Amino acid sequence: MSGSDRFLDEAIDLALDNIRQGGRPFGAVVVKDGVVIARAANRMQADSDPTAHAELLALRAAGKALGSPRLDGCSVYASGQPCPMCMAAMRMSDIGDITFAYSDEQAEPFGLSTAAIAAELAKPYDQQAGLSLKHQPQEVTEDGHLYRIWQRQAGSAD
C-alpha cells in the first residue's frame, strides 16, 4: 500500500469513527516528511463551531505540533473534497499538496457537496448573492493608521 493510500485510509477511518460517534463523515490528516503529524474529524455539531471542519482542525493541530503557523512542506489527506474555507486555510498556510477520497460530485446526492458555495465564493464579491461587504473607511491621521501603529510596534520589537 502506498503512503498516499495509507494516509487517505487514515482520513477515512477518522470519518468512520466520527460517524459512529454521531458526527459528520469527514476526517483529515496532515503529513510532513512521510509522517502523520496531525489528525482530526469534523466537530461542527459537537462543538457548536461552524469552522470545525476536519481539515481546519487538522491544520490547527499541525501548527501546534510544529510550533508555528507556517505549514509549508506539509500535505493534507482528506476523506472528502475540501470546502472553500478549508481550501483557503490550506493555501494560506502554504499547503499546496492535497488529496481527497470522495468528491463533491459523490457528496451531492447526500447533501454534503460544497460545490455550489465554492462557485459562489469564486465570483467577485459584488456579484455574490446574499453578500453585503462594506468598506467603512476611518478618518485617522497618518500616525493613527492601525497598520502604521503595528509597523512601529513590530519594528521596535526587532
Residue 146: Cβ-neighbour burial (10 angstroms; 0-12, 13-18, 19+): exposed
Footprint on residues 77-96 left by a second copy (CB under 8 A): 79-81, 83-85, 87-89, 91-93, 96
Say if CB 78 and CB 54 are below 8 A apart. Answer: yes
- The single residue among 3, 73, 116, 117 that binds a second copy, judged by CB under 8 A, is 117
Cα 3 to Cα 6, 30, 31, 99, 120: the distances in Å are 5, 13, 10, 12, 34
Instruction: State the minimum distance, in angstroms, from the CB of residue 16 to a second copy.
Output: 7
Residue 56 binds to a second copy (criterion: CB under 8 A)? yes
Footprint on residues 130-149 left by a second copy (CB under 8 A): 130-138, 145-149
Instruction: State the minimum distance, in angstroms, from the CB of residue 34 to a second copy.
Output: 17
Q: Which residues are catalytic?
A: 55
